[in-house]
Amino acid sequence: MLTNLTQGHLSLLETCPRKFQQIFLEGLTVPPSPDLQTSQLWGNRFHLLMQQRELGLPLPGTLTDEEHLQACMAALVAQAPDLFRAEPSSFRQSEHRRSLAFNGYSLTVIYDLLILRPGAGLIVDWKTYLQVPNHASLAQDWQTRLYLYVLVETTDLSPEQVAMSYWFVRHREAQTGEFRPQEVKITYTSKQHEQTRQNLLKLTAALSGYQQSGHFPQVSLARGSCDRCLFVAPCGRLPESSATALSPLPSLAEIEEVPL
């Protein structure tokens, strides 16, 4: 029985319980395209680079050779120097992990960088995909909701005292082509915190029911989730959905970054 939940689990569970079952419980996977593999490797290297920098460790030789990575990091440091400034009264840690017991499950988060100052908490997340989503969709993303929820529940900070900053480190100026990392900052309120609690209660209760019965329901075709799903065959949806042509694979920019 699955008891450890991340934002990836919550997001997929909300999208389609059957897909959740196929990926997380039955281990079905789709081989990533070469483009996606390259993008994931770049993202992994960038996260490693930032972690090394935070720890004050020398950068591995293979990384220092990567001009593209170095240019992105230099642009980020130039644009957001406050993020990298050490303060005696603050706590900061990269790849910071927290867990919270919740309704029979353990909710787990790993912050790319956590900065705690007296009366304030900031979660920083490096995003290495090219397209910058709008503020509303990022605020509704389970990563945002779970990360903020767990921070409030595991500290003495109130929702209004915490925030999350996404930094899109590969963003370029349209005219010059120079790297210009872009920030999307999400603030938080007590009302949103309570709403997330309710959503978590609902999702975890539903998951308990699915796991006990062994039945993970399909979503309605009307929701449109099946059109781009790569699991229509094992799901048994192929005959119904084949009446309408299946869409091709999504473009690289549309594929969500794999949480690290």
Dist. CA 257–CA 260, nearest whole Å: 9
Stretch that binds ligand SF4, among 54-62, 92-100, 117-125, 231-239 (CB under 6 A): 231-239
Closer of 40 and 218 to ligand SF4 (Cβ): 218
Closer of 173 and 256 to ligand SF4 (Cβ): 256
Number of residues in contact with ligand SF4, rule: CB under 6 A?
Answer: 12
Q: Smallest Cα–Cα separation from 126: which of 42, 68, 194?
A: 42
Closer of 137 and 220 to ligand SF4 (Cβ): 220
The residues, ordered by sequence, that sit 6+ positions from 252 with a Cβ below 8 Å of its Cβ are: 33, 35, 36, 39, 129, 130
Q: At 109, which helix (H) or strand (E)?
A: strand 105-117
Q: Smallest Cα–Cα separation from 41: which of 51, 29, 49?
A: 49
210 binds ligand SF4 (CB under 6 A): no
> Which residues, numbered 13-32, are part of the site for ligand SF4 (CB under 6 A)?
16, 18-19
Closer of 17 and 181 to ligand SF4 (Cβ): 17
- Crossing angle for the helix pair 190-213 and 7-15, to the nearest 10 degrees: 70
229 binds ligand SF4 (CB under 6 A): yes
| Residues comprising the chain, all counted | 260
Closer of 145 and 237 to ligand SF4 (Cβ): 237
103 φ/ψ angles, rounded to the nearest 5 degrees: 50, 45
218 binds ligand SF4 (CB under 6 A): yes
The residue ranges that bind ligand SF4 (CB under 6 A) are 16, 18-19, 218-219, 225-226, 229, 231-232, 235, 237
